[in-house]
């Protein structure tokens, strides 16, 4: 019996799944997920990603079994797996979502395309986010995003599987080399995604505006949907449509609630805007978006400073607390993520690529398109954004004035008097003795002088930025990657101010 092969990747749901719905409309389907050994050897992969994916697949498999099917788990490189399946029972077509992933998935998709062409198989791919493949002109992008988000969700009336599922229970074993699975991370699966969306729309979004910057309030004020969008447990279109529907039914006096959800909707737009950059230029994963910045930091990489950052030993309590929280939970709010990258890029003068590989393993919600664009923007190599340097002492004063956050994640800080909360390394020796904390042992001392190192790094960047080569190269980056977002009343799309903090505001 002929069937359509549905290939699940980072789209682990059954509702609004265009590939599954379109395949189901034709006839019997066979659903697969492929564990690709080489994918899990990439430097941006961690055990937490695999485990979250496994949990999400298990939920998907359980639901499909209620309809008489399952998700088959295969292991191997895609062309080899497709060849095995084809020899077992030829399929009439391959169905999947488009993926804007890391360099490995880009190269793998080229191989899958070549395999399909060689075997006479039609591969139909469908839009996953509001990302446009082979986009010719950035001026067209906003309209395409709105069109996709307003279109009806893709559902199937019935689902027929090409054969009955195996009676064997669902099993996926993690590759033995993978490490890092935070004990307090979010759990995978569509059920958790829907519960998270529901709690945000109905309650937590009241604190969205004003609550997403501080690491104290952000875990509740942020939507916490980023990982469920990254793995496709819920579709972007579902989130946009449900959010807009919720805004429409709010009473007139619910201005705070409406403002929070409106701001959140804007961040959903920016989510896709950044992924579009990687879709349009895959090379920004490993090379500077503006080539005039090549060589800026690459030759000065200090591995001791990098290890201190990864080990939460920079000496700046806010930075070390954020690294510790990230290590334990797999999540951190956007402002604190930006601060970590800023500290790495400026006072520590670290090239963004190794820092980005490490952070990719730490972020449960790692989304390559957003991740690499943001790494470059925060490091000053995009060529079109204002230099953003986050002072970790000021960030602590602004967003953790009572030291609640740093004391939670850095036990030694619980002994530090409030007077020395932001610069504990300046405590007199006698006071250190009295509280039982020795700076340099229980608490690290700053690995560089913050003011001096920041001033020197900004001077290096701005000196390069003033050169003719760099100034002339900016226009091409703006043309290819800058947003053209407009208000509904605007008749002609124009690039927005690329120095605007709005581009930083897609925090979930």
Query: What CATH number is given to the structural domain containing 73?
Result: 3.40.50.620
State the Rg of the chain over Cα. Answer: 24
Using alpha carbons, select from 278, 357, 287 the residue that is nearest to residue 100. Answer: 278
Do 332 and 268 lie in a common domain?
A: no
Rounded mean pLDDT, 338-346: 98
pLDDT of residue 502 exceeding 50: no
Looking at the predicted structure, is the pLDDT value of residue 184 above 80? Answer: yes
Of 243, 267, 283, the domain-final residue: 283
Cα–Cα distance between 369 and 258 in angstroms, integer?
29
Domain of 242: which CATH number?
1.25.40.80
Of 126, 148, 172, which residue constitutes the final position of a domain? 126
Q: Which long-range contacts (CB under 8 A, 24 or more apart) does 404-409 make?
A: 404/216, 405/214, 405/215, 405/216, 405/318, 405/321, 405/325, 406/317, 406/318, 406/320, 406/321, 408/321, 409/320, 409/321, 409/322, 409/324, 409/325, 409/328
pTM of the model: 0.94
- What own/partner pairs with CB < 8 Å and gap ≥ 24 does 294-301 have? 296/351, 296/381, 296/460, 296/461, 296/464, 297/345, 297/349, 297/350, 297/351, 297/352, 297/379, 298/351, 300/349, 300/351, 301/350, 301/351, 301/354
* pLDDT bracket for residue 386 (50, 70, 90): confident
Query: Do 290 and 432 reside in the same domain of the chain?
Result: yes
Strands 122-126, 71-75: pairing is unpaired
Are 225 and 355 within one domain?
no
Q: Is residue 25 in some structural domain?
A: yes
For residue 457, pLDDT beyond 80 = yes
Q: Which one of 238, 262, 283 terminates a domain? A: 283
User: Does residue 449 sit in the same domain as residue 355?
Assistant: yes
Query: Is 508 part of a structural domain of the chain?
Result: no
The answer on pLDDT for 497 being more than 50 is no
pLDDT in tens, 216-269: 999 999 999 999 999 999 999 999 999 999 999 999 999 999 999 999 999 999
User: pLDDT, tens digit, for every residue of 402-431?
Assistant: 999 999 999 999 999 999 999 999 999 999
- The CATH number that applies at residue 327 is 1.10.579.10
| Tally of domains within the chain | 3
The answer to whether residue 144 sits within a structural domain is no
17-31, 179-193, 488-502: the lowest-pLDDT one? 488-502
Considering the domain architecture, whether residues 291 and 252 belong to the same structural domain is answered as no
> What digits encode the pLDDT tens for the residues 34-81?
999 999 999 999 999 999 999 999 999 999 999 999 999 999 999 999
Residue 359 predicted with pLDDT over 80? yes
Which residues constitute the domain of residue 232? Answer: 190-283
User: Are 325 and 336 found together in one domain?
Assistant: yes
| 131 belongs to a structural domain | no
Which range is least confidently modeled, 313-317, 468-472, 499-503?
499-503
Q: 493 falls in which pLDDT band (50, 70, 90)?
A: very low
Query: pLDDT tier at 487 (50, 70, 90 boundaries)?
Result: low
Model confidence band, residue 130 (pLDDT cutoffs 50, 70, 90): very high
Distance of alpha carbon 393 from alpha carbon 423, whole angstroms: 8
pLDDT at position 483 is: 76
Q: Does residue 299 share a domain with residue 230?
A: no
- The verdict on 326 and 455 lying in the same domain is yes
- Is 162 domain-assigned? no
In a domain, 383, yes or no: yes
In a domain, 475, yes or no: yes
Is residue 28 domain-resident?
yes
Distance CA 178, CA 169 (A): 23
Over range 333-357, report the average pLDDT.
98
Does 433 score more than 80 pLDDT? Answer: yes
Q: Is the pLDDT of residue 494 over 50?
A: no
- Whether residues 425 and 468 share a domain: the answer is yes
Which is more confidently placed, 110 or 157? 110
Residue 224 is predicted with a pLDDT of 98
Mean pLDDT of the 94-106 span: 97
Domain shared by 225 and 308, yes or no? no
Q: CA–CA separation, 34 vs 426, rounded Å?
A: 54
Q: What is the pLDDT of residue 490?
A: 40
pLDDT of residue 77: 98
- CA-CA distance, 154 to 347, in Å (whole number)? 49
Q: Are 249 and 294 part of one and the same domain?
A: no
Q: Is 473 a residue whose pLDDT tops 80?
A: yes
Q: Are both 311 and 213 inside the same structural domain?
A: no
């Amino acid at each position: 019996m002929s069937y359509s092969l549905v290939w699940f990747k980072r789209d682990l749901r059954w509702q609004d799944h265009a590939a599954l719905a379109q395949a189901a409309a034709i006839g019997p389907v066979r659903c697969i997920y492929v564990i690709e050994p080489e994918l899990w050897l990439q430097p941006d992969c961690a055990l937490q990603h695999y485990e979250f994916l496994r949990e999400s697949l298990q939920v998907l498999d359980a639901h499909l079994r209620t309809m008489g099917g399952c998700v088959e788990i295969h292991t191997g490189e895609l062309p080899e797996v497709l060849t095995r399946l084809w020899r077992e029972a030829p399929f009439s077509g391959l169905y999947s979502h488009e993926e804007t992933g890391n360099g490995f998935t880009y190269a793998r998709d080229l191989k899958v395309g070549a395999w399909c062409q060689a075997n006479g198989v039609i591969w139909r791919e469908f839009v996953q986010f509001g990302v446009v493949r082979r986009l010719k002109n950035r001026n067209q992008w906003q309209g395409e995003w709105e069109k996709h988000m307003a279109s009806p969700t893709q559902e199937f009336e019935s689902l027929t599987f090409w054969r009955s599922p195996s009676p064997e229970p669902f099993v996926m074993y993690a590759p033995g080399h993978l490490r890092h699975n935070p004990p307090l991370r979010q759990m995978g699966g569509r059920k958790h995604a829907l519960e998270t969306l529901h709690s945000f729309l109905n309650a937590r979004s009241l604190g969205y505006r004003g609550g997403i910057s501080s690491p104290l309030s952000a875990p509740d004020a942020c939507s916490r949907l980023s990982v469920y969008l990254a793995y496709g447990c819920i579709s972007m279109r579902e989130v946009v449509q449900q959010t807009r529907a919720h805004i429409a039914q709010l009473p007139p006096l619910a201005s705070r609630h409406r403002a929070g959800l409106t701001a959140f909707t804007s961040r959903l737009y920016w989510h896709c805007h950044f992924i579009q950059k990687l879709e349009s230029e895959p090379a920004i994963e490993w090379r500077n978006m503006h080539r005039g910045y090549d060589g800026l930091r690459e030759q000065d990489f200090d591995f001791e400073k990098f290890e201190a950052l990864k080990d939460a030993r920079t000496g700046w309590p806010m930075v070390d607390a954020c690294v510790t929280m990230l290590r334990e939970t797999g999540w951190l709010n956007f402002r604190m993520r930006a601060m970590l990258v800023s500290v790495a890029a400026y006072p520590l003068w670290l090239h963004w690529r190794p820092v980005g590989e490490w952070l990719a393993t730490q972020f449960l919600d790692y989304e390559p398109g957003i991740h690499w664009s943001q790494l470059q923007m925060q490091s000053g190599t995009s060529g079109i954004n204002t230099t953003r340097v986050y002072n970790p002492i000021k960030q602590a004063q602004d967003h953790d004035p009572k030291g609640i956050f740093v004391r939670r994640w850095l036990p030694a800080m619980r002994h530090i008097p409030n007077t020395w909360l932001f610069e504990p390394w300046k405590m007199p020796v006698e006071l250190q003795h009295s509280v039982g904390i020795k700076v340099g042992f229980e608490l690290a001392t700053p690995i560089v002088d913050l003011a001096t190192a920041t001033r020197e790094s900004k001077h290096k960047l701005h000196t390069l930025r003033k050169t003719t080569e760099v100034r002339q190269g900016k226009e091409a980056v703006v043309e290819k990657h800058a947003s053209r977002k407009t208000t509904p009343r605007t008749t002609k799309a124009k690039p927005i101010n690329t120095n605007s903090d709005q581009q930083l505001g897609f925090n979930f």
